């Protein structure tokens, strides 16, 4: 008899966690051992990639508004939608995130008894929204086994020890996306180390390679084409660092590069303004969010990630699959993911800059 499994996710907007979830669901369906329900707080651009055999359950309308990124709500230009989001932003400050989510969850009618229930999104620390999957699985789901997934560095992202101790006591298994993440969880909550395990993100290699060929993109061959694919959030992804590095390179007379940024996020407008202020137009180019970023990655000379912290970033694995060398700041699972023949891991900002500078100069000599 096939096992009944429930996955709980915030949304299927473009992102690494969302892509890894879809890959995992597809892999589980191939094993033909599971009947899978997917409870989504909100939809998103990647919804069309969910296999038809997955039974999708949606939350109430208010929950959809809360779980949709604010920029997406604004871009919809639907006034009632925008007003509702602003109202909930006020409410969450008055009554708190958990109280607001409980009001929504009380309206969700999932009465199934599951063999396994999975909270696939780790609740974002110190954030009003983008929470709730752990809460829902913990308090609202009947399941023989409850699993919580952790996709980020729990220490650097600010997991609260006391809060997590209480939260994860209700889970039978805590899944970390890398050994490095597990090691940090074990340091944070050593009493839960026996139920903490590692499951690496899944990659659909054939699909990535196929989609990289779908849209023909050609970049200039006489300069180093750099690509970064990330949520434009300076606090965690440090996209502003790209702009400042580009200004420093320009001041040294190095302009033989074009750094393209694929993605969207709360700091897009601020970063576009900074590009003009630092006079690096043309050196830094914002391409916007792309459902299929793979042609941009494949046709670039170098993939760069500047994040303050990561768990096991999907984009790094995708760049490696497409044969594009990687330069990244040091993050939790960097040495598990990137071998010496695949790229470079910089331990400091200065080392990061020097490596990038050498790449651009090397491209100049190859002209």
Query: Residue 315 pLDDT > 70, yes or no?
Result: yes
Same domain, 37 and 171: yes
Same domain, 270 and 171: no
Among candidates 233, 225, 222, which has minimal Cα distance to 365?
222
Same domain, 175 and 282: no
Read off the pLDDT of residues 246-281 as tens digits, 9 standing for 90 and up. Answer: 999 999 999 999 999 999 999 999 999 999 999 999
CB-side neighbour CA atoms (13 Å) of 14: 19
Same domain, 163 and 230: no
Which range marks the domain in which residue 263 is found?
207-366
Per-residue model confidence (pLDDT) at position 92: 86
CA distance 258 to 285: 7
Same domain, 194 and 212: no
Same domain, 163 and 246: no
Last residue of a domain, one of 198, 218, 233: 198
CA distance 9 to 129: 13
Per-residue model confidence (pLDDT) at position 129: 73
Mean pLDDT of the chain: 93
* Phi/psi at 322 (5° precision): -85, 5
Same domain, 171 and 240: no
Domains contained in the chain, number = 2
CA distance 259 to 357: 13
Last residue of a domain, one of 198, 227, 244: 198
Query: Residue 184 pLDDT > 70, yes or no?
Result: yes
Last residue of a domain, one of 152, 168, 198: 198
DSSP bridge partners of 38: 7, 56
Same domain, 147 and 288: no
According to DSSP, the β-strands at 55-58 and 113-119 are unpaired
Same domain, 248 and 181: no
Ranked by mean pLDDT, which of 66-80, 116-130, 222-236 comes out on top?
A: 222-236
CB-side neighbour CA atoms (13 Å) of 344: 16
Say which CATH number the domain at 182 has. Answer: 3.40.50.2000
CA distance 186 to 315: 26
Read off the pLDDT of residues 16-69 as tens digits, 9 standing for 90 and up. Answer: 999 999 999 999 998 889 999 999 999 999 999 999 999 999 989 999 999 998
Same domain, 155 and 293: no
Query: Residue 71 pLDDT > 80, yes or no?
Result: yes
């Amino acid at each position: 008899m096939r096992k009944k499994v429930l996955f709980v996710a915030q949304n299927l907007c473009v992102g690494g966690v969302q892509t890894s979830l879809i890959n995992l669901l597809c892999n589980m369906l191939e094993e033909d051992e599971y009947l899978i329900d997917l409870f989504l707080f909100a939809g998103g651009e990647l919804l069309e990639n969910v296999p038809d055999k997955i039974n999708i359950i949606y939350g109430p309308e208010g929950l959809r508004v809360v779980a949709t990124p604010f920029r997406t709500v604004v871009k919809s230009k639907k006034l009632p939608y925008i007003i509702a989001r602003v109202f909930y932003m006020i409410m969450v400050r008055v009554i708190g995130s958990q109280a607001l989510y409980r009001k929504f969850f009380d309206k969700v009618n999932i009465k199934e008894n599951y063999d396994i229930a999975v909270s696939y999104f780790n609740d974002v620390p110190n954030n009003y929204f983008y929470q709730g999957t752990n809460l829902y699985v913990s308090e609202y789901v009947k399941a023989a086994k409850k699993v919580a997934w952790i996709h980020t560095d729990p220490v650097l992202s600010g997991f609260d020890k006391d809060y997590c101790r209480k939260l994860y006591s209700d889970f039978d298994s805590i899944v970390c996306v890398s050994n490095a993440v597990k090691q940090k969880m074990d340091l944070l909550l050593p009493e839960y180390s026996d139920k903490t395990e590692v499951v690496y993100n899944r990659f659909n290699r054939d699909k990535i390679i196929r989609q990289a060929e779908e849209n023909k993109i050609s970049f200039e061959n006489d300069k180093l084409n750099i690509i970064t694919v990330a949520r434009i959030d300076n606090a965690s992804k440090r996209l502003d660092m790209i702009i400042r590095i580009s200004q420093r390179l320009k001041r040294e007379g190095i302009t033989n590069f074009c750094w393209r940024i694929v993605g969207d996020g709360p700091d897009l407008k601020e970063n576009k303004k900074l590009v003009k202020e630092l006079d690096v137009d043309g050196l830094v180019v914002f391409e916007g969010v792309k459902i299929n970023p793979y042609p941009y990655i494949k046709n670039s000379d170098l993939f760069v990630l500047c994040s303050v912290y990561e768990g096991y970033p999907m984009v790094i694995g995708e760049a490696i699959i497409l044969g594009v060398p990687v330069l990244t700041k040091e993050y939790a699972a960097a040495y598990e993911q990137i071998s010496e023949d695949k790229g470079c891991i910089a331990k400091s900002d200065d080392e990061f800059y020097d490596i990038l500078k050498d790449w651009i100069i090397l491209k100049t000599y190859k002209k």
